[in-house]
Structure 1
Amino acid sequence: MKTDQTPTHSKLLPKAWLMVILLCVVGCLNYLDRIMITTMRESIVDALPMTDAQFGLLTSVFLWVYGLLSPFAGFLADRFNRSHVIIASLFVWSIVTYLTAHATSFEELLVTRALMGVSEACYLPAALALITDYHKGGTRSLATGIHMGGVMVGQSLGFLGGWIAERHHWTDAFSVFGAIGVVYAFVLALLLRDAPDRPDSTEPAVEKVNFFEAIKDLFKRKSFILLLVFWGLLGIVGWMIMGWLPTYYKEHFNLSQALAGLYATGYIYPVSLVGVLLGGILADYWAKKNPRGRVLVPAIGLAIAAPAIFIASSTGVVYIAIICFMFYALTRIFSDVNLMPILCMVSDKRYRATGYGVLNMFACIVGGAGIYVSGIMRDADVDLSILFKIAAGSMLLCAAILFTLKVKYSDEQA
């Protein structure tokens, strides 16, 4: 089997890893800036009186705008210079983060959250596409996994917003991290570059990418539609489990709110961080021997995660549940690591970022719907253990989709 480990590729690797390191920091800021508002609810409500529904709307409007604009944001990264899209996205959302500190009413705060959704939507499709442009074959899954590690660090640092708000003022966190993002955008302008073998979209000879042609090309591929169903189901599972896990611990094991929250979040990010690295290493290693390696690793991961969730939702022993949820956190994340590498194997390379944007939009929409439906089921006195068993079944279906997914393999698509 032909590989892409050519001298040119070997010479490019140091720069390729530099791109990953640079983007890890951006990924961290991306998720930190979006999530820290959820950790300072009391401080914000005290300063800007609002109902719980209004506070919840601050996150909802971000998610709606972010999801709906993701396909077009991905198209921008396919149509134009990916590094320029990333730098512009970071600069704009950092300015918006800084301006959030100057909001004086709920309405102004709502506008900044909507603008945050617009600007942040442009980042992830462009970043993952740039990484896969640089990393072909033997390092692609690990590279995307390391970038995801940066994203998870940003998620886990979300508590800094509440910590700063409690000790100083809620606006200080937005001012500080907004300023950091603006400065880092200038650093990226000096160092971040598109892969050398990617055509410059400004050259007259290069065929222009058309948004509607991209969408048409993606949806005519059965494998892409299956990948869309797979990612949508997994979005429902992820939001359902993470959204209701603290409540499950509290109700099922009669724990205090503080202890239930610790059990539900204390190990998820550290174990998942191990999972992104492990999933990337395993997929890259297996792909050298089997072109379907990047598909089989997440499929097997879900085949492990599903029974783990089923056992965790059935046991009356809290420590067994913790161990099972740790297995879920470790192996479920294999799918996130390998989504973009798999997309590269089922789509035209011209439309990678657009394709990821479509997947992202669908996951946001159905994930949000999943949370709402699960809330309706809770109101109807449906036990959370049943919801988690449904989640386990959905993960088995996701694994089956991957096992049957037909992919293409070449030096460009690997």
Structure 2
Amino acid sequence: MPSDRNAQTTVPPASGATPSAGAWRVVVLLVPVALLNYMDRQMLAAMKFSVMADIPDIQLEANWGKILALFKWTYALMSPIGGYLADRFSRRHVIVFSLAAWSAITWATGQVQTYGELMATRAIMGISEAFYIPAALALIADYHAGPTRSRAVGLHQLGIYLGVIIGGFSGYAADHPSLGWRWLFDVCGVLGVVYAAPLFWALRNAPPRADVAAASGAPPGRALRELFGNLGFILLVLYFTLPAMAAWIVRDWMPAVLKAEFGIGQGKAGVSATLYWMVACIFGALAGGWLADRWSRRDVRGRIYTSAIGTVCVAVAMFGVGYSPQTGRLWVAVSFLVLFGWGWGFFDANNMPILCQVTRPHLRATGYGLMNMVSISCGGLADWFFGILRDQRVPLLAIFGIFSVVALLSVSLVLLIQPRQRDDPPAMTGP
């Protein structure tokens, strides 16, 4: 095995291998799972007022923030475990298990009657979802060795964005007298169960690679020592965390903010807070993936530069969204949300590809799980902190300004990362 020093200084040339149709089929199979995962998250935010009216013992905005935060904290705590299991055993099995568990808990969420029960289901939901993303992105990276990696990750993220878009419309269903917020959770739970069986049949793990076969199955202590002894990985964890705090605020609080600040209905607020910036995310992820793949052929830091451009857009947009209520015009807020989505697409499409440049293949799911643990833990604190500041009537511009500055500062962190490698060696041949 090459020494860490050699790995730090050697950057192999890019591989020109073109992935097979099966590599793209894996991405397409995973898009619906990502869609369901994020649809669930956005539904709760978009139907906030209906849920709080139906479960009156929630009472305070800070308590609502705790519900959002508890999901993130359990998700964060379990992410490294889910990632490690996906690295050590079968990524396919971890993904399908996550979907089956998600389906059961989604259905159960529609049955809750008290604040405590809702807290419990969101905590368990965080556990089930924590097993999905690290395994899914690592599996995509296994199949896409380099020249298409950012595009493949960007395509998978479309499922996330579509899930948030569809979830954003859930406020209309919550307001409908014959449907309501519980109905949507029941439907999504059934859809997840229906999709789990064909996914298990169609999804396959990637063939092993020559540099992974000997290292797979590394004990947890060795994996942690290698990751946290890697400065590039530590910088990526911090960079992954800081802009994500802003994104959680936009996802979880923006429907309620737009309703309160612009005096619009719950349905319109949910759509305005999700549809436009999520559509921008789609185009941003596709453009950011394409740009990063092309740029990385000429410069090993191309993915890093592409991501940094996106984060600057996120920082500018956060300040603009905070300022928009002072204009009294909803379209101003929506315009800055579109800029946020464009930048987020650049950022989102390149986190796993950058991770692949600083860690070895058998640690990718574990590494991404650790990134999720830190990022989402801080996201939970951000949600809770935001609720407290809203209860204290702190001006929206000041709150969003804090998150804007934090996102902007993170750009310096990603620019300090020194890639260890560009692309993976070819997969092993054989059955």
TM-score (norm 2): 0.83
Is the alpha carbon distance of 1:376 and 1:41 closer, same or farther for their aligned partners in structure 2, counting shifts above 3 Å?
closer
CA drift of 1:211 comes to: 1.7
1:388 and 1:106 map into 2 onto residues whose CA distance is 28
- What does residue 145 of structure 2 align with? 136
1:94 and 1:378 map into 2 onto residues whose CA distance is 33
Pair 1:90-2:102 in alignment:
no
2:95 aligned partner, one-letter code:
I
Determine which of 130, 154, 158 is the counterpart of 1:149: 158
Is the alpha carbon distance of 1:153 and 1:295 closer, same or farther for their aligned partners in structure 2, counting shifts above 3 Å?
same
- What does residue 350 of structure 1 align with? 362
1:342 and 1:139 map into 2 onto residues whose CA distance is 13
Correspondence list, 1:332-351, <5 A: 332-351=344-363
Contact 1:282 1:297 in 2 (8 A): yes
- What does residue 115 of structure 1 align with? 124
2:413 aligned partner, one-letter code:
I
Structure of greater relative contact order (alpha carbons < 8 Å, 6+ residues apart): 2
2:254 and 2:190 map into 1 onto residues whose CA distance is 35
1:192 aligned partner, one-letter code:
L
- What does residue 284 of structure 1 align with? 293
TM-score (norm 1): 0.86
Contact 2:169 2:271 in 1 (8 A): no
Deviates more, 1:87-96 or 1:404-413: 404-413
CA drift of 1:108 comes to: 4.2
CA drift of 1:5 comes to: 2.5
2:199 aligned partner, one-letter code:
L
2:343 aligned partner, one-letter code:
T
1:387 and 1:43 map into 2 onto residues whose CA distance is 25
1:207 and 1:262 map into 2 onto residues whose CA distance is 45
1:39 and 1:346 map into 2 onto residues whose CA distance is 37
Pair 1:329-2:341 in alignment:
yes
Determine which of 200, 203, 218 is the counterpart of 1:209: 218
CA drift of 1:133 comes to: 0.5
1:109 and 1:68 map into 2 onto residues whose CA distance is 19
Determine which of 89, 96, 99 is the counterpart of 1:80: 89
CA drift of 1:123 comes to: 0.4
Is the alpha carbon distance of 1:400 and 1:193 closer, same or farther for their aligned partners in structure 2, counting shifts above 3 Å?
same
Pair 1:59-2:68 in alignment:
yes
- What does residue 33 of structure 1 align with? 40
Correspondence list, 1:185-196, <5 A: 185-196=196-207
- What does residue 226 of structure 1 align with? 235
Deviates more, 1:205-214 or 1:403-412: 205-214
Contact 2:69 2:381 in 1 (8 A): no
Contact 1:96 1:178 in 2 (8 A): yes
1:407 aligned partner, one-letter code:
P
1:389 and 1:397 map into 2 onto residues whose CA distance is 12
1:350 aligned partner, one-letter code:
H
Residues 329-377 of structure 1: CA deviation (Å, up to 9, x unaligned): 2113311110011111112221111111111111111122233344555
Is the alpha carbon distance of 1:357 and 1:413 closer, same or farther for their aligned partners in structure 2, counting shifts above 3 Å?
farther
Pair 1:293-2:305 in alignment:
no
Contact 1:67 1:360 in 2 (8 A): yes
1:313 and 1:51 map into 2 onto residues whose CA distance is 26
2:257 and 2:199 map into 1 onto residues whose CA distance is 43
CA drift of 1:68 comes to: 1.2
2:200 and 2:251 map into 1 onto residues whose CA distance is 36
Is the alpha carbon distance of 1:96 and 1:293 closer, same or farther for their aligned partners in structure 2, counting shifts above 3 Å?
same
- What does residue 395 of structure 1 align with? 407
Is the alpha carbon distance of 1:46 and 1:14 closer, same or farther for their aligned partners in structure 2, counting shifts above 3 Å?
same
Correspondence list, 1:263-282, <5 A: 263-282=272-291
Aligned Cα root-mean-square deviation (Å): 3.2
1:98 and 1:150 map into 2 onto residues whose CA distance is 21
Is the alpha carbon distance of 1:376 and 1:46 closer, same or farther for their aligned partners in structure 2, counting shifts above 3 Å?
closer
Is the alpha carbon distance of 1:92 and 1:248 closer, same or farther for their aligned partners in structure 2, counting shifts above 3 Å?
closer
Residues 30-56 of structure 1: CA deviation (Å, up to 9, x unaligned): 112344244445655666553335665
Aligned length: 406
Is the alpha carbon distance of 1:207 and 1:282 closer, same or farther for their aligned partners in structure 2, counting shifts above 3 Å?
closer
Contact 1:246 1:263 in 2 (8 A): yes
| Partner secondary structure for residue 50 of structure 1 | helix
CA drift of 1:287 comes to: 1.1
1:52 aligned partner, one-letter code:
Q
CA drift of 1:138 comes to: 1.2
CA drift of 1:381 comes to: 5.6
1:221 and 1:304 map into 2 onto residues whose CA distance is 28
1:412 aligned partner, one-letter code:
D
Contact 2:357 2:420 in 1 (8 A): yes
Percent of pairs identical after alignment? 38
